[in-house]
């Protein structure tokens, strides 16, 4: 079952009016949220075709009872949904910098090579600066987002986030982040 916090993240994505989601992803998200799709959004032929694809690839299953017909996510569909959420995660930057740095450090065992590569790629994607080999820095609060990403990759216990008040020579960092 999709965790409650993932569902909250999905609601947030829809509330921002994200246009990056295609019809299939949108339907998958609506099914997870248990919401009905407004017929105004898409014509019926497109929706029918998208549902067929979701069922064909076993992301959803069609459930019928005496009165209603609905779709439910399969385990494969839930995994796909998690990927959608992780792709759309962003860090909100406040208007002014609080003068603190947020240092993300990790030390993954060798068996987590793929997770390490994916985690490092996501840090780059989020705009972090590589401070040292396994230490990345960011000028704005990001704990929730980083913990979400670490949980997603199953490496939470190997990640630490530090709030740093002072770095001896932060000129290069300030230039990188334009602060």
pLDDT digits (tens, 9 = 90+) for 75-118: 998 888 888 778 878 898 899 999 999 999 999 999 999 999 99
Using DSSP, state whether 15 is helix, strand or coil.
helix
Q: Which CATH number covers residue 161? A: 3.30.70.240
Q: Indicate if 30 and 60 belong to the same structural domain.
A: yes
Q: Indicate if 83 and 52 belong to the same structural domain.
A: yes
pLDDT digit string, tens, across residues 117-154: 999 999 999 999 999 999 999 999 999 899 989 988 98
Domain span at residue 84 reads: 4-88
Which pLDDT score, from 0 to 100, does residue 87 have?
82
List helix spans (H) across the chain.
4-15, 23-33, 44-56, 75-88, 113-126, 143-153, 171-177
The domain boundary, picked from 66, 88, 110, lies at 88
pTM above 0.75, yes or no: no
Task: Please indicate, yes or no, if residue 48 is contained in any of the structural domains.
Answer: yes
Task: Please indicate, yes or no, if residue 165 is contained in any of the structural domains.
Answer: yes
């Amino acid at each position: 079952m999709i965790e409650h916090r993932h569902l909250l993240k999905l609601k947030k994505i829809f509330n921002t009016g994200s246009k990056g989601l295609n019809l299939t992803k949108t339907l998958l998200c609506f099914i997870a949220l248990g919401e009905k799709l407004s017929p105004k959004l898409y014509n019926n032929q497109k929706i029918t075709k998208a549902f067929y694809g979701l069922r064909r690839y076993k992301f959803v299953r069609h459930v019928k009872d005496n009165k209603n017909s609905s779709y439910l996510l399969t385990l494969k569909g839930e995994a796909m949904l998690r990927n959608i959420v992780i792709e759309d995660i962003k860090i909100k930057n406040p208007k002014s910098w609080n003068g603190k740095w947020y240092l993300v450090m990790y030390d993954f065992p060798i068996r987590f090579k793929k997770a390490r590569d994916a985690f490092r790629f996501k840090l780059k994607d989020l705009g972090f600066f590589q401070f040292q080999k396994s230490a990345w820095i960011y000028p704005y609060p990001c704990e929730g987002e980083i913990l979400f990403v670490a949980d997603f990759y199953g490496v939470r216990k190997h990640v630490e986030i530090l709030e740093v008040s002072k770095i001896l020579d932060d000129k290069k960092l300030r230039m990188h982040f334009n602060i």
